[in-house]
Amino acid sequence: MEKIVVLGSNSFSGSHFVDYCLEQNIRVIGISRSDEPHEAFLPYKQRSCDNFTFHKLDLTTDLIQIMDSINQYKPDYVVNFAAQSMIAQSWENPGDWFKTNTLATILFHDKLRKCQFLKKYVHISTPEVYGNCSGIISEDAPYNPSTPYAVSRAAADMSLKTFHDVYGFPVTSTRSATIFGPGQQIYKIIPRTILYIRRGKKIQLQGGGHAVRSFIHVRDVARGTLAACKTLKTGQVYHFSTTRHITIRELVEYICKCMDVHAGSVVEITGERPGKDPAYLLDSTAAKEDLHWKPEITFEQGIDETIQWVDRYIDTLRILPIEYIHKP
């Protein structure tokens, strides 16, 4: 039985990756700095978890314990979803973003590169490192980060490349389009919109919602991430994206249509946040060629699933804070 250690296993993408690995009969150790949240946010809680073990450990303070677990467990693969991930809020406390996304992550890489048993390390990066781009972005596009969050991630990515080039560290990195699906944090645009409509509240659209995004279902990303673990190629960046592009305003209007609500009655226009990039349109050619990957879940299916998820857990979700709460 293959073994995987997943850092950031409580995160949206991390928890779905854990669930997908368990479905593939892989033994998983999950590591996150917080206690496991409500089952609404952990899809693997819906199945037998005999092959899953959870450790509450923080990458910034518990590196020794994390490495002890990895060295004892000797996984085939380590996948790292752990990061301070909010973009706008990174302007308010940039040091916290650099402490986690840069310093702690690089120190972790320096320990992990010495694990001779490791077949592959998959680093979950972000297209935010590309900054303000136009057209379709290839996997070798230059970095041009425009926020503290993006700079903190780009710094770790560049350091990781040197580890691959100098030490032969078996790393693969992934960057995904805007991920969505059931179980996402409710401050994100899709679950927030659905929940606001159910609660009769106004939805705020920054800058009028003209930013263009490609939405990719979290399950498709999980499938691609496992394929990235198993490919023999190292040092490669893989993009997971669809070729369908939609503005945030069109997204909200579509959700309103699905829920039989007139968009004009629930949308409120607000100012744009600093450093927001207008579009991330990713070229997924390498993933399609090397990993034989392609998206399988349509945008419409994903929206329908997410509406059903919100309605299923509405009593739990309605009492949770709907705004992001920063944890240093």
CATH code at position 22 = 3.40.50.720
Do 45 and 159 share a domain, yes or no? yes
Supply the pLDDT for residue 277: 53
All residues at 6 or more sequence positions from 81 whose CB lies less than 8 Å from its CB, including other chains: 6, 7, 8, 9, 11, 13, 14, 17, 124
* Terminal C-alpha separation, the chain: 37
Do 33 and 106 share a domain, yes or no? yes
The number of folded domains in the chain is 2
All residues at 6 or more sequence positions from 240 whose CB lies less than 8 Å from its CB, including other chains: 174, 175, 176, 177, 216, 220, 221, 224, 225, 282, 284, 287, 293, 295
**Distance separating alpha carbons of residues 47 and 272, to the nearest angstrom:** 41
**Distance separating alpha carbons of residues 328 and 266, to the nearest angstrom:** 33
The label of the residue with tokens 């993408």 reads: 13
Do 168 and 277 share a domain, yes or no? no
Do 16 and 120 share a domain, yes or no? yes
pTM of the entire predicted model: 0.94
Structural domain contains residue 283: yes
Mean pLDDT of 214-229: 98
Do 91 and 170 share a domain, yes or no? yes
Do 291 and 144 share a domain, yes or no? no
Structural domain contains residue 67: yes
Residue 276 has pLDDT above 70, yes or no: no
Predicted confidence band at 264 (pLDDT cuts at 50, 70, 90)?
Answer: confident
Q: 285 is in which domain, residue-wise?
A: 185-213+244-317
Are the C-beta atoms of 5 and 73 separated by less than 8 Å?
Answer: yes
**Of residues 133, 150, 155, 154, the one with CA closest to residue 282:** 133
Enter the tokens of residue 324: 């992001």
Backbone torsion region of residue 19, taken as left when φ is above 0, otherwise alpha when ψ lies between -120 and 50, otherwise beta: alpha
Supply the pLDDT for residue 278: 55
Do 141 and 253 share a domain, yes or no? no
Mean pLDDT of 19-47: 95
Low-confidence winner among 31-40, 70-79, 203-212 (lowest mean pLDDT): 203-212
Supply the pLDDT for residue 322: 82
Do 46 and 99 share a domain, yes or no? yes
